[in-house]
Amino acid sequence: MGRTDFTRMRCPVARSMAVLGERWAMLVLREAFYGTTRFDAFEQNLGIAPNILSARLRELTEHGLLERVPLSETRGAGARHEYRLTEKGRDFFPAYLALKAWADRWMTGPEGPPVVLEEAATGRPVQAPPVLSSAGTPLRPEDIRVLPGPGAGQATRARFGGDAEHG
């Protein structure tokens, strides 16, 4: 049986996983968030094979999360391009922070996370954005009602009932 093509699914989360679900994609974005722009630096920092890195950078560029920008002749020898986050890529930063916070809590050893992020201006730790109610109180999954949205198909409407006007 073949693999499911997430790009053809109606769900935007599934379609985003077609781009971000490959195991190296998130790590390439991590490096971009940490200021990496050059191919050789991505390769060194990730310990990734050049052919795999080329494919990930190409896909993230094709999907508009990164842009490939020519370097001027005055910059480093042999460097022809750098990769910069686009607005779409930068918009993913809060999601990355949420994943990092979860990983720091549940996937690190007793010594703690290998990397911490702090606000450059204040030196204070960067916090993942909390999920808050309209009253400013924390929300848990059980506090959420799922309703079909304006783009819902018949199956989603049948599954979640209600109407899209509430969401």
- Residue ranges for the chain with pLDDT beneath 50: 164-167
pLDDT (0 to 100) of residue 74? 52
Query: Where are the chain's structural domains?
Result: 6-91
Q: For the chain, where are the E strands, in sequence order?
A: 66-70, 81-85
User: Domain spanning 6-91 has what CATH number?
Assistant: 1.10.10.10
Query: How confident is the model over 8-41, as pLDDT tens digits?
Result: 888 889 899 988 989 899 999 999 999 999 999 9
CB-based contact 166:147 (threshold 8 Å): yes
pLDDT (0 to 100) of residue 3? 78
In angstroms, the first-to-last Cα distance of the chain is 37
**Cα separation, 53 vs 69, whole angstroms:** 17
pLDDT (0 to 100) of residue 166? 46
pLDDT (0 to 100) of residue 78? 59
pTM of the model: 0.84
**Structure token digits, residue 61:** 């560029």
